[in-house]
Amino acid sequence: MWSTAGELANLLQCCNSSEAPGEAEFRVVHLSIDDMDRHLPHADDSPVTPNTLTSRQQSLRERIRLPKLRRYPVPVGCSPDDPEELRREELLSCFQDFVMELHQGVHMTQLTANQEYSDIHCQVFENLQTLKVDQGSGCMIEFPLAAVSKVYRIVKNDDKWLGHSSIAPLPLPTNPEHIVVVEFMRRKLAFVFRDVVTAQRFLMCMELLTRSAQEQAGSGLSGACARAEEVLRGLQGHVRHPPSQRRGGVDAIGADGPPAGPRIR
């Protein structure tokens, strides 16, 4: 169902770098005038292809794996009737190409909350955990991909909108703009695409990238918890009761169990 722009005024409450840092879900990096020429991207960036990868880039590409999902999307060029192994292989190749392009950096168009268009440069860090958005004004914003709550697509036709969360085709209006929204808890990034195929690819691969980041962050947290449990078990083996609770060098435990007090588990 089509909606007017006024009814969806809160849909594009995108990042505002002027907010208090304590309330932000991102990190803002301000560049000095001396730094801008060194850090800002250039329009003549050559695309990355598998045949032009350096050894370091090739190592990064080989580390890119699909996240664990119950169902995987069907990549462009494949049919749902194709063997699952073939579809998975094509999806991985498409995902790797997308991540390598984003790692090098891509120029994109952002739609702001007041419906203005802004040229930005996006780049994902080598750890595949952080998306850097360069606004070209000496201000770079770093977004943690693990904090993404959802990714979805909407279609804008003049002042009307049609929301759609899947990559299935939509009825094409006369003057469509495909908007892919990357949503955080309190922030949104809206990227503008002129054709549906490019928008679908960005939506599909960005969903895979955020799932991978969340999976990686979760495994890191699980590893930290496991190490903490090992430390606690080691401490538990060295706990000694006070001498008043010992008899003949043996810890005294009454009939009602161990003495009351804090225990290390």
Confidence of residue 33 (pLDDT cuts 50, 70, 90): very low
Tell me the pLDDT tens digit for each residue of 188-204. 999 999 999 999 999 99
Q: What is the mean pLDDT of residues 123-130?
A: 95
Residue 241 Cα distances to 232, 235, 253, 254, angstroms: 17, 13, 11, 14
Confidence of residue 219 (pLDDT cuts 50, 70, 90): confident
Q: Please give the pLDDT value at position 53.
A: 80
Confidence of residue 97 (pLDDT cuts 50, 70, 90): very high
3 state SS of 175: coil
For residue 91, give the amino acid letter: L
Q: What is the pTM of this model?
A: 0.68
Residues comprising the chain, all counted: 265
**Whether the Cβ atoms of residue 120 and residue 134 lie closer than 8 Å to each other:** yes
**Residue 232 region by backbone torsions, left for phi larger than 0, else alpha for psi between -120 and 50, else beta:** alpha
Mean pLDDT rounded to a whole number for the chain? 75
Tell me how far apart the alpha carbons of residues 112 and 161 are, in angstroms, rounded to a whole number: 15
**Whether the Cβ atoms of residue 197 and residue 168 lie closer than 8 Å to each other:** no
Residue 40 has pLDDT above 80, yes or no: no
